[in-house]
Structure 1
Amino acid sequence: MVNVKTPVDCLTKEDVRDEIDRLDEKLVRLFAERQGFVRRMSELKQHPDEAFDAERIEKMIAVIRKRAEELGLEADQVDLVWRTLIDWNIAFEQRVIAHRLEKSA
Structure 2
Amino acid sequence: MTELTPPRDCQDMTALRAEIDALDRRLVALLATRATYIDRAIELKQENGWPARIPDRVEEVVSKVCQEAEGQGLDPKLIETLWRELIDWSIAREAQVIVAE
Alignment TM-score > 0.5, same fold: yes
- Does the 8 Å CA contact 1:49/1:94 hold for their aligned counterparts? no
Residues 86 and 3 of structure 1, relative CA distance in 2, 3 Å threshold: closer
Unmatched segments (≥5 aa) in structure 1: none
Match of 1:36 in 2: 36
The structure with the largest alpha-carbon Rg is 1
- Does the 8 Å CA contact 1:52/1:90 hold for their aligned counterparts? yes
Corresponding pairs, count: 100
TM-score computed with the length of structure 1 as normaliser: 0.85
Unmatched segments (≥5 aa) in structure 2: none
> How do residues 1-105 of structure 1 correspond to structure 2 at under 5 angstroms?
2=2, 4-46=4-46, 50-99=51-100, 101=101
- Does the 8 Å CA contact 2:51/2:98 hold for their aligned counterparts? no
- Does the 8 Å CA contact 2:67/2:76 hold for their aligned counterparts? yes
**SS, match of residue 51 in structure 2:** helix
TM-score computed with the length of structure 2 as normaliser: 0.88
Runs of 4+ in 1 over 4 A off after TM superposition: none
Cα RMSD for the two superposed structures: 2.0
